[in-house]
Every structure is written in C-alpha cells, then in structure tokens.
Amino acid sequence: MEFRIRKYELKDRESVRWICCETGFMGEPVENYFIGRESFAEMWSGYWTDYEPESCLVAEAGGRVVGYLLGCLDTNKQARIFQKEIQPKLFRMALKEGDFRRWKNWRYFYRVFRSARRGEFKEPRETVNAEYPAHLHTNIAPPEYRGKGMGKALMQGYLAYLRERQIPGVHLVTTSRNRAALGLYYRTGFQDLFRGPLTCYDHITPEPIEKIGMGLKL
C-alpha cells in the first residue's frame, strides 16, 4: 500500500479528531464506552494539535489522512497546559454537548472513579518525565490501513525528530489489549516501565486489562 508520512498541518485537525474517536477504545470506536466525540477528541488530541503541532506527524493514503502520531517534547509542560487550559474547556464542552446527560457515560465515570480509588492511575510520573520527557500517541483508522508499515514509519519519523533535538527519552502508555501497538513498541525497542490492572472497562470486555507504561532511551 502506498502512503506518505508528513508533518501535521492545520487542515488535518478534523481527520485527526475523527481517527482519535474511531480508535478511542483500544483501536475500536469510543462509543463502546463513551458518547461525546467533541470532548473525547479534545481530551486525547487537543493539546497536541493545538499547542504542539510541530511535534505531530500524519500518514496519508488514498488521498486522505488515515493515521497520526501526536508527539510532545516535554510532558511536564503538557501536563501544566492540560490542567490550566484544556480541563476547563473540556468541562464546558461536555456540558454544552450533553455528555453528562448520557447514562452510558455515567457507567464509565463511575468506573473511572472506582479505578482512581483503587490506585490504578498512580504512575511514577516524576521519574518517567525526568528520564523520558517526550511522549506520543499513535493511531490509524480505518482498520484496513493497519499492519502495512504505517505505524512503524510514523514512529521512525518521530524518533528522528526527537534525536535531532537531543531529547534523552520518550515514553507512552498503552494496554495489554492494544496488541498491534505492543508489537510496534517492542519492535522499536521500548521497554516496560510500569504495569498494573485497569478495571474501568470491565463492563465492556471480560478480558482482564493491564495498563502498560513503556520507555525508550534515545
């Protein structure tokens, strides 16, 4: 399959947001557990496309954008901007779009709250962000474009970008259910940094899911 990797441009924003939602449940559409595409896309692509577009790449095939890698050089900076600017916007967006009026969403919010109480979101953030300051999110949709080398090409482009800027390390967070992603990350040289159970999707799939944090020194 012919494809082209290039820098993200403003005109790609809607495609990126669509891919983000199409892959929001570990490669399947977000509607498996959450109704509200605007807020979901804002949460998982808003920072990267709007505050750090220069660190993002897209993959084009058949005349359209079908994949992306959203990068970030400094995770501490991203966390600050997320908290200060994106979180309040997300809340207003979810209110406006009626996300809080959806029964399905409350089933999920309850589980997120329960996972938080169980300590499932605890991560060794300080050390990870110090040793592996960059991070990434990568997704491809529709599914027929997967398994054809696009993910690897996006990753190679991003790692070259990080090396040019002498970034010491990059990390990411995925799950045991993102099998193709694990294949890509291990093949690229990423190693596990932390692992733990993630139970907030147990109403959707009976499969026990593990959250996996991975890192690569550059």
Ligand X SMILES: CC(C)(COP(=O)(O)OP(=O)(O)OC[C@H]1O[C@@H](n2cnc3c(N)ncnc32)[C@H](O)[C@@H]1OP(=O)(O)O)[C@@H](O)C(=O)NCCC(=O)NCCS
Q: Which residues contact ligand X (rule: CB under 6 A)? A: 23, 26-27, 138-140, 146-152, 174, 178-181, 183-184, 187
Minimum Å gap between C-beta 210 and ligand X is 13
Q: Which run of H or E residues covers position 49? A: helix 47-51
C-alpha 168/C-alpha 170 separation (Å) is 7
Of the two residues 62 and 103, which places its CB atom closer to ligand X in the complex?
62
Minimum Å gap between C-beta 43 and ligand X is 14
Q: Give yes or no for a contact between 139 and 65, defined as CB atoms under 8 angstroms apart.
A: no
Minimum Å gap between C-beta 11 and ligand X is 21
Of the two residues 90 and 184, which places its CB atom closer to ligand X in the complex?
184
- Provide the 8-state DSSP code for 98: T
C-alpha 89/C-alpha 11 separation (Å) is 22
Minimum Å gap between C-beta 58 and ligand X is 12
Of the two residues 4 and 92, which places its CB atom closer to ligand X in the complex?
4
Of the two residues 1 and 95, which places its CB atom closer to ligand X in the complex?
1
Backbone angles phi, psi at 16, to 5 degrees: -60, -45
Of the two residues 68 and 108, which places its CB atom closer to ligand X in the complex?
68
Of the two residues 7 and 187, which places its CB atom closer to ligand X in the complex?
187
Minimum Å gap between C-beta 98 and ligand X is 27
Minimum Å gap between C-beta 200 and ligand X is 16
Tokens describing residue 204: 């959707």
Q: Which residues pair with 94 in a beta bridge?
A: none
Residues contacting residue 124 through CB under 8 Å, at least 6 positions apart? 193, 194, 213
Backbone angles phi, psi at 210, to 5 degrees: -110, 140
What percent helix, strand, coil does the chain show, rounded to 5? 50, 25, 25
Letter for the amino acid at 67?
G
